[in-house]
Structure 1
Amino acid sequence: MITGVVITLNESKNIVECIQSLQKVCSEIVVVDSNSTDNTRELAESLGAKVVIQSYLGDGIQKNVGLAHTENNWILSIDADERLTDEMVSAIKQLDLSSTPHDAFAFRRRNYIGSRWIKQCGWYPDFCIRLYDKSQTRFAEVKQHAAVQAKNPERINADLIHYSFENLGQLFAKPGRNFSGRAAKIMYKKGKKANSFSPFLHGLNAFIRKYFFQKGFLGGVDGMTVALSSAVNSYLKYAKLLEYQRDPKVLENEDFDKVW
């Protein structure tokens, strides 16, 4: 049997469909909530999910919190804005998890902007491990962009839907996200250095990679916008890091204990 694990913060718009999606293959659902101020918790509990309250600790760390509250070894971890496709449900049901030699399974992820499936810019096929055996592996204990540290994963040719952004504007300013600021803080704490050319060079490199090498030019306006947002994010990350290095006042006013 499988336990579904979801981390949430004010996900009342998504949590019902997310849990209903998981219930197609999971005998148990655990929601790890970061002190939501909407009715995320109530909605989750009304659908039979077990809700665990935990202030946000960072991506990988938070996703591992729920493991102590699960009854099954096999964990299906998805975000609140992700959904299982029918083909993914079918693929999971066909797996023999009791005797498989694999410690995890990866699925293709379809990333959407609004209702538009983005197939360029490295957004598809975006293989990511979502089903894993907690007795053998788990998410890396890192605060950003965590992945399951499986030693023998298997790729499954089935899709997971990810409603990444509601519209193009959110690519640049999705509520509750500050990837460049968080990344800059993390880099500064690790002793990473930037120079006056770093923001431009990293921003340019991100654009070229997304637009040309990952064929964003085939995606029209959406491909161009994704490439530009990647460039802006990369530029800002290094510009903020450089600011910490050269402006004592900014550095003094920043709380590096509150990256999240």
Structure 2
Amino acid sequence: MSEGLSPNRAGREASSRTPRATLSVIVVAMNEAHDIRDCLESVRGLALETIVFDSGSTDGTPDICRALGARVFETDWPGDGPQKNRALAEARGDWVICLDADERLSPELRAEIETLLAQGSPHAAFSTPRRSSFCGRFMKHSGWWPDRIVRLFRRGSARFTDVRTHTHLEIDGTTGRFDGPFIHISMPDLHEALDKTNVYSSEGALTMAENGKRSSLAKALGKGFWAFFRTWVIRAGFLDGAEGLMLAINNAETTYYRYAKLALLTRDGKVAKKR
């Protein structure tokens, strides 16, 4: 009988033949001192590097990031997609993961990424569920779960779309699936929810105007009502209790103001169409 390798010895020899892949983490931030530490701590020891692009924080966010070992670039804000592509251009790892400051890796997701880096994969990217909280409650319905997103990809195989808000990745290759979730502390209170409503509606209106879109007050009202109905009824937001109702109203307000702002922008001719 021939003598085989013990599992431990086989693992060591396989490891010596296949070097562990490296990971870059990219984060865009502004005034995220309340969240950024937990975000960066969740990838400590996993990543080759953490890259933070900060667009004018006044609350000490860059100093916190540097203290945690991140490379920090202090710059302007060209929009969500362009800023993330700036950060991506600085990445050196074999794989890249993009996190928002209010996101962090769950232990389950971290373990799956560890396996990926050790064993490799033919996929160009991976989708991951995201568990998000609204006003202190993790939502199980309302369109917020499982809310799969693609944020982990092989460097050189993907790029962010060039939009001002809610960019997404354009991927060259296949996409695998992870089961472990991102943890997303989205809107801890209504104060922050209202702030995001104003920011997201303004950025969204500007993007639509630049792309030749038009709106009216009637359209804004209709879109707002549909956003509420979709969240509360179609996506079963009513099963998320009071927070589900508040989220449905928040989605309706954000949508209404986006189209109302678009109507004003295009009426007054304030925005030139992109060519």
Matches of 2:42 and 2:117 in 1, distance apart?
20
CA distance in 1: counterparts of 2:259 and 2:72, whole angstroms: 38
Q: Tell me by how many angstroms 1:196 deviates.
A: 4.2
What TM-score do the two structures reach when normalised by structure 2? Answer: 0.84
Hey, what's the Cα distance between the residues in 1 that align with 2:262 and 2:107?
44
Q: CA deviation at 1:239?
A: 1.8
In the alignment, what sits opposite 2:249? 228
Residue 190 of structure 2 corresponds to residue 161 of structure 1: no
Shift of 1:224: 1.0
Q: Unaligned 5+ residue runs, structure 1?
A: none
Report matched runs for 1:62-141 at 5 Å.
62-96=83-117, 99-141=120-162
Q: Secondary structure, in 3 states, of the residue corresponding to 1:157?
A: coil
One-letter code aligned to 1:9:
M
**Whole-Å Cα distance in 1 between the matches of residues 130 and 206 of structure 2?**
29
Counterpart of 1:172 (choices 194, 198, 208) is: 194
The C-alpha deviation readout for 1:200-220, integer Å capped at 9, x for no partner, is 211111111111110011111
Q: Aligned with 2:179: secondary structure?
A: strand
The residue that corresponds to 1:46 in the other structure is 67
Normalization by structure 1: what TM-score? 0.89
Matched, 1:184 2:192: no
2:46 paired with 1:25: yes
Alpha-carbon offset, residue 190 of structure 1 = 2.1
Highest Rg: 1 or 2?
A: 2
Distance 1:10 1:195 in 2: 34
Question: Quick one: distance in 2 between partners of 1:213 and 1:97?
Answer: 41
For 1:95, what is the secondary structure of its paired residue? Answer: helix
Q: Please say if 1:213 is aligned against 2:234.
A: yes
Do the aligned partners of residues 173 and 69 (structure 1) sit closer, same or farther apart at CA in structure 2, a change above 3 Å counting? closer
Q: CA RMSD of the aligned region, Å?
A: 1.9
Identity score, percent: 33
Contact 1:24 1:89 in 2 (8 A): no
Name 1:199's counterpart in structure 2. Answer: 220
Quick check: 1:59–1:146 contact (8 Å CA) kept in 2?
A: yes
Aligned in 2, Cα 1:97/1:67: closer, same or farther, shift over 3 Å?
farther
- Distance of aligned partners of 1:32 and 1:196 in 2 relative to their CA distance in 1, 3 Å threshold: closer
Aligned residues: 250
Instruction: State the distance in 1 between where 2:256 and 2:88 align.
Output: 36
Counterpart-to-counterpart distance in 2, 1:104 and 1:211 = 32
